[in-house]
């Protein structure tokens, strides 16, 4: 398999960088929606390679970061219910809720297990019939189909001790909310690659059409991002606003039909609470009535207690692109990856963590 | 013998003696151990290197090794990184009742094999069996002693501006191989742990560069953490080139999938050597002749600038900071 080195070749990258420098005359603020892109950009030092005309802004595309404290508290309370095994992606373990974190309640005896896929969670449910196994469903359109698939599988096998807490969020509605707020002026949008692999590039068309904003779907290798910036610059310089794909090996305009179908079979949209954005209509996913018995919110009596927001933390503003991590008083002083105050310092896709870990070291 | 380890195997009574005789004494047979006194005694002159470590890896068997091989290699390598010639080890087994005896036998035979390769002797040991649930299958605690040859003075604080940073081979193999076997994370890979005793590689290096400045094995926390430790201890900056760092395609792929940085993934058979620039080519050439240094490469150099920090030139030609691993998403990989 060779899918990585080709996208990190320095001579190819230099060619694209050279073209961006040659073509970019207008000042352009580009938002990378996705935290994965923020990491690529900082990890490979891409900002240092771009001309001064281009400003890169991080967006709200980190599922861990946008999870509201009230929802985190729910997950933490669930883990503490006797007889529950809470299965989760590793990133969630350290995220602080109002009073605790999954990592802390695990140390106090809660059974919290890291899994890489929902099928592993299902395997744990099969192996522990006397326990109730809950999968913490945090993610965007990329993870929602895998949870839907696990629920369908559980139903088919008659596994009755498997549940999911659906805190899923959908990307296009939140970008609409961000643009409608008028808080941030943008000249181009780097659309999420993995989300688009599921939903396709068509759901972004309203942004190009209604908001006149150039959109390019990007992959996550450095060359993908550079090619995407190059395509955005070309649109901006020519006064075009279209949806283009710089990630053809992963994304088709129509998306992944099969994944969308199972998602629609199990879930329906609902309003969802986003950190920094508040309640956004149609941006969440809840179980349809016929799958309610898998819904952890219904199956368990969860008492998370009152929500407390961390003092001084501006994760919400950072997620909206209004502030950068360096604007935060707590950044790298009080809030570090070892003792995070806000989620953006915890997640491997969080802006604060990326700034902290890979902070430019221009010589 | 019953099939499983029972609490009685650690009681000091008959079953315990049977276990010691049939498994440990036979496998590790040497005159110092065979005396079965409370302490092993031996004559010694010169400078002694002394180290201890505990092994709690989960799972206890993984592609390319097991907890027994890891315990020997890890302890031997800690001695070797001080430039010492490893001589003797102690091994203490803390066993959860119910461990299949066959598993224990297999691990003991791995210990024997690794100790033979490294030419060290296990001269004292202990066995405890604990209630189910109070340990996870098997923990091994070790101590090791070795002799530091005259004139050798290796320390993490001795890196000097201008020195070259040499890495003995590909990074991340152990961490990814172990991770691939974990419950809830299993994925299939042909990758094997790089777990290996490095004392002979170190002896080779010292032959061509007795004044070698620093040696360290990048285990937990990976290459990034080791380089940061060396930069901090030596109060110097380290600049590395991403392009020069050997990483297997499978490790890259798994890291991309799991969201890790290969620089943070554990190794158990690699070392970083920091040597004076005039010695660098000779050390590199010698390392490449050793089976455990075949893929060795000069990956960077020590600088006066940015003391205490590690900076990497990325493949794209930009620079970024390389920080220590924070927290741990891969618990108990060694």
Query: A61-71 burial, b for 16+ CB within 10 Å, e for fewer?
Result: bbbbbbbbbeb
Dmax over CA atoms of chain B, in Å, equals: 67
Q: What is the pLDDT of residues B247-286, one digit of tens each?
A: 999 998 888 777 788 999 999 999 999 999 999 999 999 9
Chain A window 95-114: which residues touch B at a Cβ cutoff of 8 Å? 113-114
Pull the structure tokens for residue B6.
């029972």
Contacts of B316 in chain A (CB under 8 A): 8, 10, 13-14, 17, 44-46, 49, 222, 226
ipTM: 0.73
| Mean pLDDT, chain B, whole residue set | 92
For residue A22, the surrounding DSSP H or E stretch is: helix A10-23
> Which of A48, A120, A123 minimises the CB distance to B318?
A48
DSSP code of residue A143: T
What is the interface size between A and B, counted as CB pairs within 8 Å? 105
What pLDDT does A1 receive? 42
Query: A221-246 burial, b for 16+ CB within 10 Å, e for fewer?
Result: bbbbbbbbbbbbbbbbeeeebebbbb
pTM value is: 0.83
CB A218 within 8 A of CB A244: no
Distance CA(B162)–CA(B140), nearest Å, equals 40
What pLDDT does B329 receive? 57
Q: Do B320 and A123 touch (CB under 8 A)?
A: no
Pull the structure tokens for residue B69.
């091989």
Residue B144 φ/ψ, nearest 5 degrees:
-145, 145
Distance CA(A122)–CA(A163), nearest Å, equals 9
Select B7-148's CATH number: 3.90.1170.50, 3.30.1330.10, 2.102.10.10, 3.90.110.10: 3.30.1330.10
**Residue B85 neighbours by CB under 8 Å, 6+ apart:** B79, B146, B147, B148, B149, B199, B203
What pLDDT does A2 receive? 55
Q: What is the pLDDT of residues B146-178, one digit of tens each?
A: 999 999 999 999 999 999 999 999 999 999 999
Pairing of strands A28-34, A188-191: parallel
Residue with the larger pLDDT of the pair B19 and B231: B231
Q: What is the pLDDT of residues B320-334, one digit of tens each?
A: 999 888 766 554 554
Residues of chain B with a CB closer than 8 angstroms to some CB in chain A: 183-187, 243, 249, 252-253, 256, 258-259, 261, 305-306, 309, 311, 314-321, 323, 326-327, 329
Pull the structure tokens for residue A336.
């570090």
Distance CA(A100)–CA(A94), nearest Å, equals 9
**Rg of chain B taking only CA atoms, in angstroms:** 21
Q: By C-alpha distance, which of A328, A36, A63 is closest to A191?
A: A36
CATH of the domain spanning A28-309? 3.40.50.11740
Quote the CATH superfamily of domain B164-322. PurM-like C-terminal domain (3.90.650.10)
Geometric angle at alpha carbon A333, from A332 and A336, rounded to 5°: 50
What pLDDT does B2 receive? 57
Geometric angle at alpha carbon B104, from B99 and B109, rounded to 5°: 170
Distance CA(B198)–CA(A362), nearest Å, equals 36
Average pLDDT of the residues in B126-146: 95
Contacts of B186 in chain A (CB under 8 A): 120
Average pLDDT of the residues in B51-80: 96
CB B146 within 8 A of CB B84: yes
- 3-class DSSP state for residue B187? coil
Q: Do A115 and B185 touch (CB under 8 A)?
A: yes
Chain A window 132-161: which residues touch B at a Cβ cutoff of 8 Å? none
Contacts of B188 in chain A (CB under 8 A): none
What pLDDT does B331 receive? 45
- 3-class DSSP state for residue A346? coil
- pLDDT tens for the 363 residues of chain A, in order: 455 666 667 788 899 999 999 999 999 999 999 999 999 999 999 999 999 999 999 999 999 999 999 999 999 999 999 999 999 988 888 899 999 999 999 999 999 999 888 999 999 999 999 999 999 999 999 999 999 999 999 999 999 999 999 999 999 999 999 999 999 999 999 999 999 999 999 999 999 999 999 999 999 999 999 999 999 999 999 999 999 999 988 899 999 999 999 999 999 999 999 999 999 999 999 999 999 999 999 999 999 999 998 889 999 999 998 999 999 999 999 999 888 999 999 887 899 998 988 875 543
What pLDDT does B327 receive? 66
List, by residue range, all CATH 3.40.50.11740 domains of chain A.
28-309
Percent of chain B residues topping a pLDDT of 90: 75
The domain locations on chain B are 7-148, 164-322
Distance CA(A282)–CA(A272), nearest Å, equals 7
Q: Do A13 and B316 touch (CB under 8 A)?
A: yes
Distance CA(B129)–CA(B97), nearest Å, equals 6
Contacts of A45 in chain B (CB under 8 A): 314, 316-320
What pLDDT does B254 receive? 86
Residue B217 pLDDT > 50, yes or no?
A: yes
């Amino acid at each position: 398999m060779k899918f990585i080195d080709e996208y990190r070749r320095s001579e190819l990258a230099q060619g694209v960088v050279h073209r961006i420098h040659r073509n970019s005359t207008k000042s352009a603020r580009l938002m990378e929606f996705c935290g994965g892109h923020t990491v690529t950009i900082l990890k490979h030092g891409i900002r240092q390679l771009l001309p001064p005309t281009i400003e890169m802004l991080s967006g709200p595309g980190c599922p861990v970061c946008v999870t509201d404290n009230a929802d985190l508290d729910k997950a933490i309370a669930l883990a503490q219910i006797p007889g529950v095994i809470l299965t989760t992606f590793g990133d969630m373990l350290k995220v602080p809720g109002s009073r605790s974190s999954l990592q802390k309640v695990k140390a106090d005896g809660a059974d919290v297990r890291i899994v890489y896929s929902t099928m592993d969670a299902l395997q744990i449910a099969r192996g522990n019939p006397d326990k109730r196994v809950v999968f913490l469903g945090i993610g965007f359109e990329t993870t929602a189909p895998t949870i839907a698939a696990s629920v369908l599988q559980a139903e088919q096998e008659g596994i009755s001790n498997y549940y999911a807490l659906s805190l899923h969020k959908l990307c296009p509605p939140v970008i609409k909310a961000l643009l409608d707020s008028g808080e941030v002026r943008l000249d181009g949008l780097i659309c999420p690659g993995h989300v688009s692999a599921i939903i396709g590039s068509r759901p972004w068309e309203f942004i190009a059409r209604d908001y006149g904003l150039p959109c390019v779907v990007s992959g996550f290798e450095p060359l993908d991002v550079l090619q995407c910036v190059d395509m955005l610059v070309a649109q901006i310089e020519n006064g075009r606003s279209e949806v283009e794909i710089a990630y053809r090996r992963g994304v088709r305009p129509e998306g992944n039909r099969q994944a969308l179908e199972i998602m629609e079979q199990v879930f329906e949209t609902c309003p969802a609470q986003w950190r920094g954005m508040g309640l956004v209509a149609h941006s969440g996913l809840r179980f349809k009535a016929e799958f309610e018995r898998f819904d952890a919110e219904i199956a368990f009596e969860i008492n998370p207690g009152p929500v407390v927001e961390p003092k001084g933390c501006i994760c919400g503003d950072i997620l909206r692109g209004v502030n950068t991590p360096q604007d935060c008083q707590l950044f790298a002083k009080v809030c570090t990856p070892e003792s995070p105050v806000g989620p953006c310092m915890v997640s491997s896709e969080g802006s604060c963590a990326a700034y902290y870990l890979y902070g430019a070291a221009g010589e | 013998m019953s099939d499983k380890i029972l609490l009685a195997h650690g009681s000091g009574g008959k079953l315990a003696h049977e276990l010691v005789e049939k498994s440990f004494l036979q496998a590790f047979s040497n005159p110092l151990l065979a005396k079965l006194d409370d302490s092993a005694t031996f004559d010694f002159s010169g400078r002694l290197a002394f180290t201890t470590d505990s092994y709690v890896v989960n799972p206890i068997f993984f592609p390319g090794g097991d907890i027994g091989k890891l315990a020997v290699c890890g302890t031997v390598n800690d001695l070797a990184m001080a430039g010492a010639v490893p001589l003797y080890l102690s091994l203490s087994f803390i066993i959860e009742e119910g461990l299949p005896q066959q598993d224990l036998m297999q691990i003991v035979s791995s210990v024997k094999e690794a100790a033979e390769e490294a030419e060290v002797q296990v001269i004292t040991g202990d066995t405890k069996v604990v209630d189910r649930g109070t340990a996870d299958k098997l923990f091994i605690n070790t101590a090791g002693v070795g002799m530091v040859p005259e004139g050798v003075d290796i320390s993490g604080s001795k890196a000097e501006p201008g020195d070259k940073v040499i890495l003995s081979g590909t990074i991340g193999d152990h961490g990814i191989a172990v991770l691939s076997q974990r419950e809830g994370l299993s994925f299939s890979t042909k990758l094997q742990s790089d777990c290996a005793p490095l004392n002979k590689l170190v002896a080779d290096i010292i032959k061509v560069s007795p004044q070698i400045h620093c040696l360290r094995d990048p285990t937990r926390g990976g290459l990034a953490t080791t380089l940061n430790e060396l930069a901090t201890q030596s109060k110097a900056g380290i600049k590395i080139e991403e392009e020069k760092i050997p990483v297997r395609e499978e490790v890259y792929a798994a890291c991309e999938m799991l969201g890790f940085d290969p620089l943070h993934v554990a190794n158990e058979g690699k070392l970083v050597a920091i040597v004076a620039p005039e010695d660098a080519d000779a050390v590199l050439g010698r390392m490449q002749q050793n089976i455990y240094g075949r893929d060795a490469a000069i990956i960077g150099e020590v600088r006066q600038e940015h003391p205490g920090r590690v900076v990497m030139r990325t493949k794209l030609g930009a620079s970024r900071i390389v920080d220590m691993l924070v927290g741990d998403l891969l618990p108990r990989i060694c």
